[in-house]
Amino acid sequence: MLTDAQVTQFYSAGYLVVDDVLPCDVLGSVRAEYSDLLDSLYDGWSAEGRVPDGRDMDFWAKLSASYAAGCDWFQPMDISLPGGEIAPDTPMHFGPAIFDLVMHERILDLAEALIGPELTLNPIQHVRIKPPSPQLGAEETRAHITRTDWHQDRAVGLEEADQTDMVTVWVAITDATLDNGCLQVMPGVDAGMLPHCPQVQTAIAPKFLDVDRAVPLPVKAGGVVLFHPLVPHASLPNMSDGFRWSFDLRFSKTGQNTGREHFPSFIARSHVTPKAELKDWRVWRDAWFATRDRLAVNPHIPIHRWASDAPYCA
């Protein structure tokens, strides 16, 4: 699915924008699945008197009203456990439509073209549904909701995965534009791992940034942005009057450390042992809920490696 020139660009510049990867029916199924999920959440909040009656409200209006009321739809919609404390009832979402997106042949073809045919779905994965910046609470720091600080994907995993072959597949569910907060990148991977600091989020230490080199990466719904784990990237703020929706997926070479081994991964594609490929979305869901049950009763495992008192963070 990728030309030799595109593969060369990925490994030199560290990124690649690919249009028209996912067909409309796949996007429509994901939107419908999430609409049903939000309807269920919203009905519960409405019954509690926390949000206005939603009978005449669409998906986006319900998202906006819920956020304004302090009702958290992000974690119930996310395809991961949080990096912080985990409770026995921490919500997540795993369904057939999002599984079909994650496992879509075109997504796997892109990953295979870059890191080979033995592919594991890495558990560092998230939904990102970003409201307009003026709607955000002053205390909002979650990168999945507000703008994402400059970082390298290698740096948000643990050290054990520093040699892992991996690729991030950023999937646009709505158009990502300059106005609504598309991604931006500093091309190049030759600098290696840059120092990061716990800032608003885990972010590259300021003196290592040259923001004048930033290149914006708009992409239409159904397109993807592919990231090398060492390329610095961030998002622009959402200055539009609508939401921007995407998914972060990550694939790593099977048998190598994922950088978050306490979360579940699975074999997405294998030419050597095709019978090992996961085919049932319910197995994916059950693995995450079994992990939640285990982690909720054990000491918290930190997912960040960077210390705020490091010299480059001063």
**Sequence spans of domains, the chain:** 4-22+76-137+146-313
Confidence of residue 215 (pLDDT cuts 50, 70, 90): very high
What is each CA distance from 69 to 40, 46, 186, in whole angstroms?
Answer: 16, 11, 37
**Residue-level pLDDT at 143:** 83
**104: nearest Cα among 2, 44, 23:** 23
Confidence of residue 140 (pLDDT cuts 50, 70, 90): confident
**Residue-level pLDDT at 198:** 84
pTM for the model: 0.96
- Contact present, 128 and 246 (Cβ < 8 Å): yes
Confidence of residue 307 (pLDDT cuts 50, 70, 90): confident
**Residue-level pLDDT at 141:** 85
Q: Say which CATH topology domain 4-22+76-137+146-313 has.
A: Jelly Rolls (2.60.120)
Which amino acid is residue 4, in one-letter code? D
Q: Is residue 144's pLDDT more than 90?
A: no
At 148, list the tokens: 């994402």
Q: How would you class 173 by CB atoms within 10 Å of its CB: exposed for 0-12, middle for 13-18, buried for 19 or more?
A: buried
**Residue-level pLDDT at 35:** 98
Confidence of residue 199 (pLDDT cuts 50, 70, 90): confident
Confidence of residue 1 (pLDDT cuts 50, 70, 90): confident
Question: For a pLDDT cut of 70, what percent of the chain falls above it?
Answer: 100
Place of tokens 């996961």: 278
**Residue-level pLDDT at 296:** 97
**Residue-level pLDDT at 190:** 92
